[in-house]
Amino acid sequence: MKFRENLTAHLALLGANIIYGANYSIAKAVMPEYVKPFGFIVLRGIGAVLLFWFFHALMKREKVERKDFPKLILGAFLGIAANQMLFFKGLSITTPINAAIIMTSTPVLVLLAASVILKERITISKIAGIIAGITGALLIILMGKDFSFGSETMPGDLMIFINASLFGVYLVMIKPLMKKYHPLTVNKWVFFFGLLMSLPFGWSEALEIDWVSMPPNILGGVIFVVVGLSFFAYLFNSYALSRVSPSTVSIYIYSQPVFAVSIAIALGNDSLSAIKVIAALLIFGGVYLVSWGK
């Protein structure tokens, strides 16, 4: 039973990070020309709240103890409102490659937060796994691409880094609630409170969206972000977090470049090379060390 639960958790993490890997380019195509960043967050929040509340009512009628609501509100701030506003605003004024590089810091931040908050041991295998993952991810991200950290992208780069830090703390502090309640229950309330926090910042931008003149491919991108990223990716991550450690959940961020390249190869937009294979082996070797290494 334990093996089966761990396997389903890792499959859920694979699914979530395939969605995350595709999100960088899809969201960048939508913003800021068609949907402004904070308006996008309100759209995501409304879609996620409707979906999580519907499926919670349909599948899991579970009540939350009053003492846990402050934790859910803090989780909404760290993992939804501040996290998403910083990410989407940052992505709109920096480059996808800069954002991808900065997000590789998340597992390190999660490891440190877990050691402080949950008293998880920082083992040699976890450190080796994170180093292997960072190396593999950077090999793919930087291969044949131009990138630059300069004054013009610095505000966006800083926002992405703070976003990564907040998300790392969110994964650690929400872990006990994921073990106590069903993931649908936690996400129902986290997205509800997160939407309330986001509305004052993004409601006017949401009203500015010109749905009539929006091209079909951009509309598809909006649907992908609202349904795929806000509902399925969070649900998959939450399910995994209820069964494995925050460090294991975060290490999967290094698989996102692998999935992005794999999709490009499948569409004929990229080709396989020895470096990409080595990078993938490093990344999934890192996942193994963090998850099961002794």
Q: What is the pLDDT of residues 71-124, one digit of tens each?
A: 999 999 998 899 888 887 887 787 767 777 777 778 888 888 888 887 778 788
Residue 241 dihedral angles phi and psi, to the nearest 5°: -65, -25
Kindly state the percentage of the chain with pLDDT values over 90: 23
For 160-191, the pLDDT digits (tens) are 888 888 888 898 889 899 989 999 999 999 99
Contact indicator for 234, 48 with CB cutoff of 8 Å = yes
Q: How far apart are CA 223 and CA 43, in angstroms?
A: 10
| Predicted TM-score of the model (pTM) | 0.80
Q: What pLDDT does residue 90 have?
A: 84
Q: What pLDDT does residue 144 have?
A: 57
Q: Give the count of domains, the chain.
A: 1
Contact indicator for 226, 44 with CB cutoff of 8 Å = yes
CA distances from 242 to 46, 55, 106, 140 (A): 25, 18, 19, 30
DSSP H helical segments within 208-293, as ranges?
A: 216-223, 234-241, 246-251, 256-266, 274-291
Residue 57 tokens read as 């009512």
Is the pLDDT assigned to residue 155 strictly greater than 80? yes
Give the residue numbers spanning the domain of 195. 2-291
Could you list the beta-strand ranges (E) of 90-182: none
For 201-255, the pLDDT digits (tens) are 989 999 998 898 889 989 998 999 889 988 999 899 989 988 888 888 888 888 7
For the chain, the average pLDDT equals: 83
Specify the higher pLDDT residue, 30 or 273. Answer: 30
Q: How far apart are CA 131 and CA 286, in angstroms?
A: 7
